Amino acid sequence: MNPVDLLVKAEFLYPVSEGMPIISNGEVAVIGTRIVYAGPAMPSGHWQPKNTLGGPGKIVLPGFVNCHSHAASLIFRSQTDDHAAKAALLDVAFRMEKDVTEADWSLLGALGCADMLLSGITTINDIWYSPETLVESVLQSGLRAQIANKVFDVKLEELRNGDYTHHQAIGEKRLRHGIEFVETWHGAADGRITGRIGTHATDTCSSALLKEARLEATRLGVGMHIHAAQSASEAEHIKAAHGCGPVEYLRDVGMLAPDVVLAHLVFAEEADFDAIVSCNANYAHCPTIYPRRGRYPQFEKIIAKGIKTGFATDWMLNDPFEGMRYAINAMRLCLGGPHAMTCDQALRFHTLGAAQVLGLDHEIGSLEVGKKADLIVVDINQPHLQPYYGSYAAFVYYAKSSDVVDTVIDGKVVMHERHITGLNHHSTLEQLQKRVPGWRSQLSSLGSPAVFGPGCDCCGLV
Q: Taking 60 as the threshold, does the pLDDT of residue 461 lie above it?
A: no
Residues 12-64: pLDDT tens digits?
999 999 999 999 999 999 999 999 999 999 999 999 999 999 999 999 999 99
Rounded to an integer, the average pLDDT of 88-111 is 93
Query: Would you state the torsion angle of the CA atoms of residues 243, 246, 251, 255, taken in this order, to the nearest 10 degrees?
Result: 130
Q: pLDDT averaged over the chain?
A: 95
One domain for residues 173 and 238: yes
What distance in Å separates the CA atoms of residue 437 and residue 214, rounded to the nearest whole number?
41
C-alpha separations of 228 from 107, 143, 198 in Å: 28, 26, 12
Please tell me whether residues 214 and 160 are part of one structural domain: yes
Q: pTM score, two decimals? A: 0.97
The pLDDT assigned to 454 comes to 52
- Band the pLDDT of 163: cuts 50, 70, 90: very high
| Cβ-based neighbours of 324, under 8 Å, separated by 6 or more | 287, 311, 343, 346, 347, 349, 350, 396
Question: Domains in the chain: how many in total?
Answer: 2
Domain residue limits at 235: 64-357
Contacts of residue 320, Cβ cutoff 8 Å, sequence gap at least 6: 64, 66, 119, 120, 121, 311, 313, 350, 401
**pLDDT band for position 378 (50/70/90)?**
very high
pLDDT, mean of residues 280-291: 97
Examine residue 429 and state whether it is found in any structural domain, yes or no: no
On whether both 159 and 12 belong to a single domain, the answer is no
Domain match, 32 and 103 both: no
What counts of helices (H) and strands (E) characterise the chain?
16, 17
- Mean pLDDT in residue range 221-242: 96
- Amino acid 295: pLDDT: 92
The pLDDT score that the predictor gives to residue 387 is 98
CA torsion through residues 353, 358, 362, 366, sign: negative
Does residue 410 have a pLDDT over 70? yes
> What number is the average pLDDT over the span 352-364?
98
Q: Does 124 map to a domain?
A: yes
Nearest residue to 416 via CA among 25, 37, 51, 24: 51
The arithmetic mean of pLDDT across residues 445-455, rounded, is 73
Q: Are 299 and 285 in contact (CB under 8 A)?
A: yes
Confidence category of residue 89, pLDDT binned at 50, 70, 90: confident
Q: Please give the average per-residue pLDDT across 243-271, as a whole number.
A: 98
| 448 in any annotated domain | no
CATH of residue 308: 3.20.20.140
User: Does residue 459 register a pLDDT over 70?
Assistant: no
Residues 15 and 128 in one domain: no
User: In which band, very low, low, confident or very high, does the pLDDT at 453 lie, cut at 50, 70 and 90?
Assistant: low
Which CATH number belongs to the domain containing residue 32 in this structure?
Answer: 2.30.40.10
- The verdict on residue 438 lying in a domain is no
Q: How sure is the predictor about 87, in pLDDT bands with cuts at 50, 70 and 90?
A: confident
Q: Is residue 6 assigned to a domain?
A: yes
| Within-domain flag for 435 | no
Residue closest to 395 by CA, chosen among 346, 339, 336, 341: 346
Q: What gap in Å lies between CA 374 and CA 371, rounded to an integer?
A: 8
Q: Is the pLDDT of residue 411 over 90?
A: yes
245 domain residue, yes or no: yes
Same domain, 10 and 43: yes
CB 299 within 8 A of CB 349: no
Q: What's the rounded mean pLDDT across residues 126-136? A: 98
Buried b (16+ CB within 10 A) or exposed e, 166-184: beeebbeebbebbbebbee
Residue 446, domain member (yes or no) = no
Given a contact cutoff of 8 angstroms between Cβ atoms, the answer to whether 15 and 62 are in contact is: yes
